[in-house]
Amino acid sequence: MYHSVIAGIGHYLPDNIVTNSDLEKLMDTTSDWIVERTGIEERRHVVKGSGDSPSTMGTKASRIAIEKAGLTPDDIDFIIFATLSPDYYFPGPGVMVQDQLGIKEIGALDIRNQCSGFVYSLSVADQFIKSGMYQNILVIGSELHSGGLDMSTKGRNVSVIFGDGAGAVVIQRTEKEAVGILSTHLHSEGKYAEELALIGPNTGRWVPEIIANANSEDLSYYPYMNGNFVFKHAVTRFSEVIIEALQANNFQPSEIDLLIPHQANLRISQFIQKKMGLGEHQVFNNIMKYGNTTAASIPIALSEAFDQGKVKSGDLVCLAAFGSGFTWASALLKWQ
């Protein structure tokens, strides 16, 4: 039977650092307020005209991951791209990465599961590998939030949270036992879809209608989040899906070498850490530096943790995410 391992990993972040002090100049907020509620001190924003986009950032992260896997782009059989902020409404950015990497005519799939998109993508890649269909799959999470945020006081509850960046992994087939992706677990609860959403434009209310009826009270084209409601559900679902992954593989929380949660809010990560009785060395967070990069947050964090020597051969690594949809997911890995 085939199994899936992460053979290479990489990430890319724009150079432009936006601090909480920078945001104080744009809206009625304070650095202390932002840190107290989110843990975020700075984030990266793409500079217009820099050439950075979801696809180009994804390509830059992918080149690093492919090189670390000891491969060339021509060795990639399939691309899965997770994002909520594609370059275009259509086509999706997966095909753009295929072109930018110069790979000939392989399949490319886009995943629109927001914060849990990368873990969902890992699960899809894992099934393709296990079936024997592909040998090397490129999985990308990349986001450019900054171009679609309301950077005024009206939008501060959401806009202070999000940042731009990309991460990528190469998922590779192996016949070794008990290594790589041990299991993945996916869930959704669509009745809460509008508690964390960007409602417009949509196919029922397209751009011309929004422009024709524009008024200062219509904020449907900016992201909306019911923060307290999302927080309460997140801490519950994070715990459930982590325990689900551990129980499926007969492990206890204490056996986790590294938990990498989606970087939604440092307070959520700290709550989960305390609830599960994990030490500081067992949880990796970088939201303080990069903010919430939705589908990119887990691969960026995993790549940083690996580069810092915090992920080693034989380690039990748990990835978990919760976000818009609501959707939530986990993946348990035995690092090869």
- Catalytic residue check, 281: no
- Catalytic residue check, 233: no
Active-site hit among 115, 136, 145, 185: 115
Residues facing residue 319 across a β-bridge? 260, 331
Active-site hit among 113, 136, 265, 292: 292
- Catalytic residue check, 115: yes
SS (H, E, C) 127-150: HHHHHCCCCEEEEEEEECCHHHCC
Q: Return d(Cα 236, Cα 13) in angstroms, integer.
A: 30
* Nearest alpha carbon to residue 24 among 160, 128, 132, 127: 160
Q: What is the DSSP string of 6-26?
A: EEEEEEE--S-EEEHHHHHTT
Q: Return d(Cα 221, Cα 213) in angstroms, integer.
A: 13
Q: Return d(Cα 14, Cα 82) in angstroms, integer.
A: 18
Supply the Cα-derived Rg of the chain in whole angstroms. 19
**Residue positions annotated with a catalytic role:** 115, 262, 292
